[in-house]
Amino acid sequence: MKLSFSAADEHFREEIAGWLRDNLCGEFEAIRGRGGPGDEHMYVEERKAWETRLAEGGWTCIGWPEAYGGRGASVEQQVIFNEEYARAGGPGRMGHIGETLTGPTLIAFGTDEQKKRYLPGILAGKELWCQGYSEPSAGSDLANVKTKAHFDEASRQWKISGQKVWTSLAHESEYCFVIARTDPGSVGHKGLGFFLVAVEQPGVEVRPIQQMTGTSEFNEVFFDEAVCSADDIVGAPGDGWKVAMGLLGFERGVSTLGQQMLFQNELNEVIRVARENGAHSDPAIRQRIADAHIGLRIMRFNSMRMLSGGGDDGSLQKEAMIYKLYWSSWHRNLGKLAMDVLGPESEILDGGPYELNRLQSMYLFTRADTIYGGTNQIQRNIIAERALGMPREPRG
Amino acid sequence: MEFSFTDEQQMIRDTAEGFLAEVSTSEAVRAGMATELGYDPQLWQRVCSEMFWQAIHIPEEYGGMGLGYVELVAMLEQMGRHLFCSPFYSTVCLGVNALLIAGSETQKSEYLPRIVEGKTATLAYTGAKGRWDAAGVELACTETGSGYALNGICRYVPDGHSADLLVVAARAPGSEGEEGISLFILPADADGVSRVWLPTMDQTRKQAEIRFDQVQVALEQRLGGAGDAWPQLATIIDLATVAIASDQVGGAQQALDSTVEYLKERVQFGRTIASYQAVKHKCADMMLKVEAARSGLYYAACIADEALSESPLGAELPEAASLAKAYCSDAYFFNAGCGIQLHGGVGFTEEYDIQLYFKRAKSTETFLGDGTYHRERIARLVLDGEAAA
């Protein structure tokens, strides 16, 4: 059992850190640390340009196999990349959905045609993707999608109608991947298809959702006879659930240490404020800040256990199953701690009508953390059922 | 990334688990804890002669196995899981660590082989005020010319009534805080030493009060420097803290596992109570606590290894120990408390083991400082920029 990365991995770390030092400057100085959660709507054009710069340096899609233009980077190297990226203040990635979700899905399930058509745009940082999963009646119950797709023999096209929701960056994306019902009489995870749909077309309308933060990172996307070609279904009609679930499996924790670097920056800011305004001498606040520090350190070691692979029986990794519930709960507590450290000043905005400062924005956004990507309640069901072998919830 | 047990470490863990499942049954625990000694001496002899556990991290040159702290932690986790009643913790995690950290070559050569042969040991540093920091050292040592005279009381000493060897911390007259502290090693039957067993709520961990009345110790019985042994004692305490956190992780795991097992059998309203979401969610929270605790513990174990080999990363030991102890204490207490609640009425009975875990959760939480104490140590590091005291 060791705490350290290998010498080769540390060499890789120096390489990416050096590249970021040399490139994340000049015209890109302004976007350092911007565009993260709660800030995704900012500096969109500059961040698109940054995607291109990353691609020129060969730093997009590093985990993809070399045959598809990636570096075939190991899990450790991807973790290091994300950690150094966050450390350097790398801006929120515009291309992350294509890179981490669409690409791996096409590599695993796509046809050669689909790979040729879509992978280069993602690799070059020029074509952005968004995710069409959730619907008003398909939140935690993701399989309950109502959006329909039927194949129009006359035009040889799929026609898609329905509504998606919580689609981040939809208005900036070229493409959306959509799960829709191909078998009209089907229910649940059967009878679904996985489609690659252009956003810029008459049948697609993107409407921003006004959030409690006063900003609109998320959108509703309406499909009204939106079209994609016969070649733009991944897998066969009816295989959509399998493809979609395979895609969720691609998130192997490579972003965890990068995410934790952002959390560390936020905690450092809370500590800075506490030392400045004297809250650090309050015994209760001291306990809570220490608790946050401990919680974040443990999050890191938990990730390292995840990345080292193998549970006790070599298959089920319990430390991986707790990760979402753990980090979302930790982050939500940090949000509240930040406001309590700020005291009365926590209510005062940077400006009108509703300009939140960084900690206020973080505080409000953490209320989403425990909901998206599987609510804390769903996470607890999963842990109880899959890790502890307790009976499954009845399903309608 | 190799932040997981090696095959050899896994084997040590599995061997410990197998042996303890056989010898540390509920009946055996209850028999051991009912005695004043607190354990079965024949079983301890078996552990020493067959398993050689007492020698696990004693270097080979002193007759030990020369393994590291990760292996020790893996073993302690299983002992906590099985409530193993033995002088292992006091002897290995207090006595051996004290000798490894503060002992001279001569002292290590003299005492470590005795422990390998089966002698027990413990550390007595806390006085009647019950503090776990330097101010907790209340025993007085006065120079006599040929050595020192010890006078005063140590309390809350693990296995203090039964250990063969005592490592004690004492302070020079008039000194306070981290100043003036010296360490000594002496046989427990030295003249002027009287030991009183203290009956405890958690009967699986025995404690004693030790009184020193003009106890004469020679110069060569002093471990480390004269009056400046606090840094060494602090390291010994931090290592002991990591060790007790290992026990807590094992106990927290068993509190969860035994509870889930019960829930899957108990039927109410026509279905197993494990099928109720309110119950499942509580168990999920328990698993989160114990897995996170384990992640923190393994970090602390690695750092303890670094500290024992005097590598630079070992400087993190105070933080690592406090991190592990704060989290593991609260996790154990949470899991054992939830365990009683989820067992329902039988959780309150003497018959079911969950009450034993509940009591041990509290006694290990208190020992060497609870979550609040260790969070304050962390707060000093991150808020005040001080080295942890």
B205-249: pLDDT as tens digits: 999 999 999 999 999 999 999 999 999 999 999 999 999 999 999
- Contacts of residue B257, Cβ cutoff 8 Å, sequence gap at least 6: none
Residue ranges in B266-276 assigned as alpha helix (H): none
Whether A319 sits inside 8 A of B301 (CB atoms) is: no
For A301, which of B256, B296, B379 is closest by C-beta distance? B296
Q: Is A305 on the interface with B (CB under 8 A)?
A: yes
Q: Which of residues 227-286 of A touch B (CB under 8 A)?
A: 271, 274-275, 280, 283, 286
What are the φ and ψ backbone dihedral angles of B242, each rounded to 5 degrees?
-60, -40
Using a CB-CB distance cutoff of 8 angstroms, which residues of chain A are in contact with residue B263? 390
Q: Is A201 on the interface with B (CB under 8 A)?
A: no
Whether A1 sits inside 8 A of B3 (CB atoms) is: yes
For A274, which of B4, B287, B383 is closest by C-beta distance? B383
Whether A388 sits inside 8 A of B260 (CB atoms) is: yes
What CA–CA distance (Å, rounded) separates B68 from B59?
Answer: 9
End-to-end C-alpha distance for chain B, whole angstroms: 32
**pLDDT higher at A74 or B208:** B208
Measured over all CA atoms, what is the biggest interatomic distance in chain A, rounded to whole angstroms? Answer: 74
What share of chain B has pLDDT > 90, as a percent?
A: 98
* CA nearest to A297 within chain B: B296
Active-site annotation holder among A10, A14, A45, A251: A251
pLDDT of residue B166: 98
- How many inter-chain contacts (A to B, CB under 8 Å) are there? 150
**Burial class, A327, CB count within 10 angstroms (exposed 0-12 / middle 13-18 / buried 19+):** buried
Per-residue pLDDT reduced to its tens digit, A133-190: 999 999 999 999 999 999 999 999 999 999 999 998 899 999 999 999 999 999 999 9
**pLDDT higher at A316 or B365:** B365
Paired strand residues for A234: A194
Q: Which of residues 307-326 of A touch B (CB under 8 A)?
A: 307-310, 318-319, 321-322, 325-326
Identify the CA nearest to B186 among candidates B96, B235, B122. B122
Both tokens of residue B309?
Answer: 């080999």
Using a CB-CB distance cutoff of 8 angstroms, which residues of chain B are in contact with residue A327? none
Both tokens of residue A390?
Answer: 């307790």
pLDDT of residue B389: 42
pLDDT band at A314 (very low <50, low <70, confident <90, very high): very low
Per-residue pLDDT reduced to its tens digit, A206-228: 999 999 999 888 999 999 999 99
Is there a catalytic annotation at residue A200? no
With beta carbons less than 8 A apart as the criterion, state whether B136 and B129 touch: yes
Q: Is B2 on the interface with A (CB under 8 A)?
A: yes
Q: Which of residues 67-96 of A touch B (CB under 8 A)?
A: 75-76, 79
**What is the interface pTM, i.e. ipTM, of the complex?**
0.96
Q: Is A393 on the interface with B (CB under 8 A)?
A: yes
Whether B375 sits inside 8 A of A291 (CB atoms) is: yes
Residue B42: count other Cβ atoms within 10 Å of its Cβ: 8
With beta carbons less than 8 A apart as the criterion, state whether B181 and B233 touch: yes
CA dist list (Å): A108 to A247, A260, B171, B219: 9, 29, 69, 73
pLDDT of residue A110: 97
Confidence check: pLDDT of B194 > 80: yes
Q: Which of residues 224-283 of B touch A (CB under 8 A)?
A: 256, 260, 263-264, 271-272, 274-275, 277, 279-281, 283
User: Which range has the worst mean pLDDT, A5-19, A27-41, A366-380, B254-268?
Assistant: A27-41
